[in-house]
Structure 1
C-alpha cells in the first residue's frame, strides 16, 4: 500500500500572474546568458524557482510547460559547469529552445558544490545520461575554488555521486564520510535544521539504493518528505516560498531508484508524478 504525504497548503491566488513575471525574468536571463556574467550568476537559482513554481498549479507536472521548465533548469546547470570545466574558448549548450555559446569560465562563485549537487539532481530527474557523465567529471577542486564556504560533508557527497556514476570504487566509503560529516559536532557552516531536513535525507536514501533494499528505500523516502514538509512549514516565510513545492533531492534519488527497478511506494506532490515517471520522455529536444 502506498504511503501518501500531502503537500502543505500554498497560496495560488496570484500564481498565474506570478508565472508571467517569472517567465519574463527567465527570458531576460537567457537572452543575456552568452554575454553577461551577472545573468549567468543568477541563472540556475532563478530557473529552478520557475520550475518549482510551475508545480503550484500543476502539482503532477503533467503539463508540457512544466516539463519544459524542468528541462531548462537542467540544461542551465549543466551548461554552467560545462563552461566552468573548460579553460579557454567556449562551449555550445542547448538551453530552452536555442543552442547558446557560453564562454569558458573556470571556477566562478556560482559553480560551487551546492549548485553542482542541484545540477546533478536535475539531470537525474531528466534522465540525462550524457550530462550526468560530464557533471561526474567536474573536478571537486573546481568546486572548492568557487570561494563558497561549505561544511566538508558536501564534498564527500559530491565524490560519492561522481564515483557511483562513473563506476569507480569507494562509493560507500565516501557516503559514510558524508553522513558522518553532517553530525552537529562536525558541521558548523550549514543551518542545523536545513542540514537535517533538506540536505541530509538524500544521503540517507542513497544507502538503501546502493544496497538494493527496496523497503528501506521507501521508508527513507517517506521520512525525507516528512522532514521536507516540516522544514517548509517551519515558519510563515518558508510556507509562502515556492522553493518548498518540490523536494528536489528526494525526487532525484527516487527517479534514480525507479530507473533501477525500485517500486516507489510513496505518493506526494513533493514528488510530481510526471517527473518521477518520466512521462515526457522524448517529447522535447533537450
Structure 2
C-alpha cells in the first residue's frame, strides 16, 4: 500500500498564480540581462528556484509544461553559475530558457560554493542531465570551499561523497561514513539544528539506504525525510507560507536516483512531484 506524505498547506489560488507569473516575468528579464553582465547570476538562480516552487504550488504533480520549463531553467542556471565562475576572461555558451546564450566570464566567486553546488546537482539529477552531473562532479572540492566558514565540514564531505559516487571513484563507503559522522549535531554546530535535522541530514540518510540498495529501508527513510521537511517548514507561521518549502529537492533527487535504479519504494507526496520523479518530461526539448 502506498504511503502518503501530505504537503503542508501553502496558500494557492489566484494570488499564487499571479505571484508565479510575476516571478516568471522577472526571471525572463534577469536571464536576458546575463548576456550583458553575470554579476547577478546568483540572484537570477535564486529567482529561478522561486519560480520552480511557485509553479509546484499551482501544479503539484508537475504535469504542465510551464512547470517543466521552471525546473529546466533552474537546472541550467545552477550549472551556468559554475560555468561563468570557472574561467577568468572571455565568454561561455550556456543554454538557458530554450536559447543558447553567450555569457561573460566572472572569474572565481564566493557564490559558487558547496551549498549552491548541492542545489545545482540535485536539479541536474531531477532533470536526468548526466553530462551536467559529470561536469559538476569534476569541479575540484577546494574550489567550492567558502572562505567565511559558513558551512560545517560535513558539507564538503557530502559533496565529496556525491562526486565520488557519480564518477565511480574509490572510497565511497569511507567518505559516506565520514559525512554521517561529521553531520552529527554535536559536531556540526554552524548550521541551526532545526535546519540540520530537518533539511540537511535527511538526504544523507536517504542516500545511505540508496547506495546499500536497502529495499526495506529506503521507503521508510524517504517518508521520514519528507515528514522532517514538513516539520521544518511548519515550525513557524512565516515558514508555513514560504514557497521555498514547496518541493523537497534533495529527497526528490535521491528518489529519482532510486526510481531510475529500480529500487522499489511506494511513497507519494506533493513534495515529490510525480512527473519529475518519473521523468515524464524527459526528452521534450533540448536542455
The TM-score range, normalised by the shorter chain, is over 0.9
Show the 5 A alignment for 1:122-141. 122-141=123-142
Q: Structure 1 stretch 54-63 or stretch 33-42: which is displaced more?
A: 33-42
TM-score, length-scaled by structure 1: 0.96
Q: Are residues 185 and 148 of structure 1, via their aligned partners in 2, closer, same or farther at CA, if it must alter by over 3 Å?
A: closer
SS at match of 2:93: strand
Q: CA deviation at 1:171?
A: 1.3
2:50 corresponds in structure 1 to 49
Conserved? CA contact 2:85–2:107, under 8 Å = yes
SS at match of 1:250: helix
2:159 corresponds in structure 1 to 158
The yes-or-no answer on 1:6 pairing with 2:33 is no
C-alpha distance in 1, partners of 2:172/2:87?
Answer: 26
1:201 corresponds in structure 2 to 202
TM-score, length-scaled by structure 2: 0.96
1:118 corresponds in structure 2 to 119
Q: CA deviation at 1:76?
A: 0.5
C-alpha distance in 2, partners of 1:148/1:105?
Answer: 22
1:259 corresponds in structure 2 to 260
The yes-or-no answer on 1:39 pairing with 2:40 is yes
SS at match of 2:40: helix
Unaligned runs of 5+ in 2: none
C-alpha distance in 1, partners of 2:94/2:149?
Answer: 25
Q: CA deviation at 1:53?
A: 0.9
| Alignment RMSD | 1.3
4+ residue segments displaced more than 6 Å? none
Conserved? CA contact 1:110–1:146, under 8 Å = no
Show the 5 A alignment for 1:10-21. 10-13=10-13, 14-21=15-22
Q: Structure 1 stretch 74-83 or stretch 101-110: which is displaced more?
A: 101-110
C-alpha distance in 2, partners of 1:227/1:218?
Answer: 14
Conserved? CA contact 1:111–1:146, under 8 Å = no
C-alpha distance in 2, partners of 1:98/1:218?
Answer: 39
Q: Structure 1 stretch 26-35 or stretch 140-149: which is displaced more?
A: 140-149
C-alpha distance in 1, partners of 2:71/2:164?
Answer: 25
Instruction: Provide, for residues 182-215 of structure 1, a one-character-per-residue CA deviation record: whole Å limited to 9, x for no partner.
Output: 1122112111101111011110011111111122
Q: CA deviation at 1:39?
A: 2.3
C-alpha distance in 2, partners of 1:265/1:218?
Answer: 7
2:104 corresponds in structure 1 to 103
1:244 corresponds in structure 2 to 245
2:29 corresponds in structure 1 to 28
2:233 corresponds in structure 1 to 232
Q: Are residues 252 and 283 of structure 1, via their aligned partners in 2, closer, same or farther at CA, if it must alter by over 3 Å?
A: same
Q: Structure 1 stretch 88-97 or stretch 253-262: which is displaced more?
A: 88-97
Unaligned runs of 5+ in 1: none
Instruction: Provide, for residues 155-189 of structure 1, a one-character-per-residue CA deviation record: whole Å limited to 9, x for no partner.
Output: 00000000111010111211111111111221121
Conserved? CA contact 2:92–2:102, under 8 Å = yes
Conserved? CA contact 1:82–1:134, under 8 Å = no
Q: Structure 1 stretch 38-47 or stretch 205-214: which is displaced more?
A: 38-47
